[in-house]
Structure 1
């Protein structure tokens, strides 16, 4: 008798849409940061791309910009996104709210870019902790939806951390992965087997075919 293929869960990772401070400030977990008009358009576009997928569940970071990105998908799927702290942005500690131009002048910035596995944000989270949190979150969601399709709305660094893990590369290669606002990445998680990265930083085209792969 032929052996059945392992049950495989498809996880789609959507970075929140653009905000008024995207690319200029390290917002971290600061509250009351909402999508810009461009970000809302990106959220609508992401929802349209997800149409045709048999989505079992939606999960979102509790931060406003992620929740607002999930709203168009909630409307189109008639599903309510569950808030999940595992999808939160990295805790940047004392760097929260600082301008990127100012941070780039610090000697520690070189470590962030070249050896993130050795770095902890002052008063905040380390990249190792961030990646461990995301791995645990994906394992939990995969177990909750075996063989299903799960969409997660999160932030650039958490998505980059789990993609680096799924690709089987060292955390120090973290900065080589690009995850733009409104982009969608996809990881196939077969039960008992290594994850398969199906898509990274995608910003155009329907995604229904992902489930047939």
Structure 2
């Protein structure tokens, strides 16, 4: 059976001086540090290619921060940058708010907390996993068609969709403490396949040197 690898890349740091939960809002661009993170990831993937990896397919969420994170890798690898709507950030009823305990305790938001296991404040976890798995499987097949056995794909997405997909692949419960997510800015969640079967999931932080001092809005 053919082997393939799909890398789930979280976008880099976003310029967000007001600290809002930007969710699917348009025109949230990478900060200078976020651009540096994107360049560091491009260098990482270029090094893999130089070592013999076949980097065959690249796609990103349609949101600005994901597209800007993907562009340096597209340039470094000579790949077209495809857009996949299935990689988009999770929908969230608190989008646009500067989230704080005092804000969330307002009665107008209470209805969104009726079922935290779903979660009721946004797109259900299982729906996020379902669309991400469709994107992952499509990328795997596209990479194999373009690059043959052993080909690799890169998908640029967002923290929550990546993390719940990671949990699902490890057959863990999807409900979790957001503070415990192993999915920092510009991190990689790498999925190995043999045929259509997942044979391994690993996590890495190629841009770790740029993380100290970086801003990361919870849920973004």
Report the TM-score, using the length of structure 2 for normalisation: 0.78
Q: Does 1:159 align with 2:165?
A: no
Partner of 1:50 in structure 2? 45
How far did residue 23 of structure 1 move?
A: 9.7
8 Å contact 2:60–2:81 — kept in the other structure?
A: yes
Q: Does 1:132 align with 2:127?
A: no
Distance (Å, rounded) in 1 between the aligned partners of 2:66 and 2:76: 17
CA spacing shift, 1:23–1:156, aligned 2, 3 Å: farther
Q: Does 1:148 align with 2:139?
A: no
Greater shift after overlay, 127-136 or 62-71? 127-136
Give aligned pairs, total.
193
Distance (Å, rounded) in 1 between the aligned partners of 2:16 and 2:154: 25
Partner of 1:99 in structure 2? 98
Distance (Å, rounded) in 1 between the aligned partners of 2:168 and 2:134: 12
Partner of 1:120 in structure 2? 120
**Aligned-residue CA RMSD in angstroms?**
2.5
Task: For structure 2, list consecutive stretches of 5 or more residues without a partner in the other structure.
Answer: 145-149, 210-220
Q: Does 1:191 align with 2:195?
A: yes
Partner of 1:81 in structure 2? 81
| Structure 1 stretches of 4+ moved >4 Å | 102-112
1:31 to 7, 10, 26: 26
CA spacing shift, 1:195–1:203, aligned 2, 3 Å: farther
